[in-house]
Amino acid sequence: MPTILGIPFDVNSSCLRGPAGAPAKIREALRSDASNKWTELGVDLGAAGAFADAGDLPLNDSPESVGDDFAEIERAVGKLLAKGEAPVSLGGDHSVTYPILKAFARRYPELTIIHFDAHPDLYDEFEGSRVSHACPFARIMEERLAKRLVQVGIRTMNGHQREQAARFGVEVVEMRALPAFDRLKIRGPVYVSFDMDVLDPAFAPGISHREPGGITVREAIAHLHAIEGTIAGADIVEYNPVQDVSGMTATVAAKILKEILGKMIMA
Ligand code: MN
Ligand code: MN
């Protein structure tokens, strides 16, 4: 069963803090009576036992305790996986995907990650940190925590990260190459990492790094629906309530969450 897990953590953000407040806001938007609980593909998330919620992790979210917090994230995700649950975490900055994948790699050695983002997040280090939210996929690929990494919506590639992508064999689908539905036909288990800044900031202003020229909410849903392969888990990261406008981005994050949960339940 898909199980939501809140990760209130943003100390590895390079620019603005704020995503630690995301889990509560996304849950609130998901529960809102402004919309019903059915997904577009016909799954009723309001049905008893459709999905579970494991609450928020108790994290320190301070620079001195990043190691402890990462260990707690890995432990909690591993515990859900051991119970046969499919964790869907609500971040948090994108650095949390690294400890999450450490837990996933033990259970799913043949995992393909589908990573939606404006940024490749492949820096070897960023501003002196190797656990920055700009680095998680460098750590994940170095430690071979996934078999394949498919990145979608990238529009900030630079020289260093292009070298990193080549070094790790990352399959980068840049924004200008979309739509790319065929690239999402995956064999085997899939992990979806959804950075909210893949969306154009016109649709989702509540993020720390606004990068114009992104996908619409409609295009995001179409690509999520196009995924083939079993979604074993997912995260939604980088929603920053401090930057949001009248809760618009929380509503969008909740919509993305609904469609991911629906796909998982249908499988
Ligand atoms: Mn990211
Ligand atoms: Mn990003």
pLDDT band at 267 (very low <50, low <70, confident <90, very high): confident
Amino acid 150: pLDDT: 98
135 alpha carbon – ligand 1 mean position (Å): 9
Indicate whether 245 pLDDT > 90.
Answer: yes
243 alpha carbon – ligand 1 mean position (Å): 16
Ligand nearest to the CA of 121: 1
Indicate whether 48 pLDDT > 90.
Answer: yes
46 alpha carbon – ligand 2 mean position (Å): 31
Query: What single DSSP character describes residue 76?
Result: H
The reply to whether the predicted model has a pTM over 0.85 is: yes
**Helix locations, the chain, DSSP H:** 22-31, 66-82, 97-107, 136-142, 159-168, 217-226, 248-266
The torsion angles phi and psi of 233, rounded to 5 degrees, stand at 180, 170
Ligand nearest to the CA of 123: 1
46 alpha carbon – ligand 1 mean position (Å): 30
Over residues 145-160, the pLDDT tens digits come to: 999 999 999 999 999 9
119 alpha carbon – ligand 2 mean position (Å): 5
| Burial of residue 45 (number of CB atoms within 10 Å: 0-12, 13-18, 19+) | middle
47 alpha carbon – ligand 1 mean position (Å): 32
138 alpha carbon – ligand 2 mean position (Å): 14
Q: 153 near 175, Cβ under 8 Å?
A: yes
62 alpha carbon – ligand 2 mean position (Å): 21
Ligand nearest to the CA of 199: 2
What's the rounded mean pLDDT across residues 197-224?
Answer: 98
134 alpha carbon – ligand 2 mean position (Å): 8
234 alpha carbon – ligand 1 mean position (Å): 14
Amino acid 223: pLDDT: 98
Over residues 91-149, the pLDDT tens digits come to: 999 999 999 999 999 999 999 999 999 999 999 999 999 999 999 999 999 999 999 99
CATH number of 2-266: 3.40.800.10
Of 35, 36, 74, nearest in space to 57 by CA = 74
Please give the Cα distance from 113 to 190 (Å, whole number). Answer: 6
266 alpha carbon – ligand 2 mean position (Å): 28
Indicate whether 198 pLDDT > 90.
Answer: yes
Tell me the percentage of the chain whose pLDDT exceeds 90: 99
The residue written with tokens 């401090």 in the block is 242
pLDDT band at 225 (very low <50, low <70, confident <90, very high): very high
Amino acid 128: pLDDT: 95
Please give the Cα distance from 89 to 96 (Å, whole number). Answer: 9
Please give the Cα distance from 18 to 84 (Å, whole number). Answer: 31
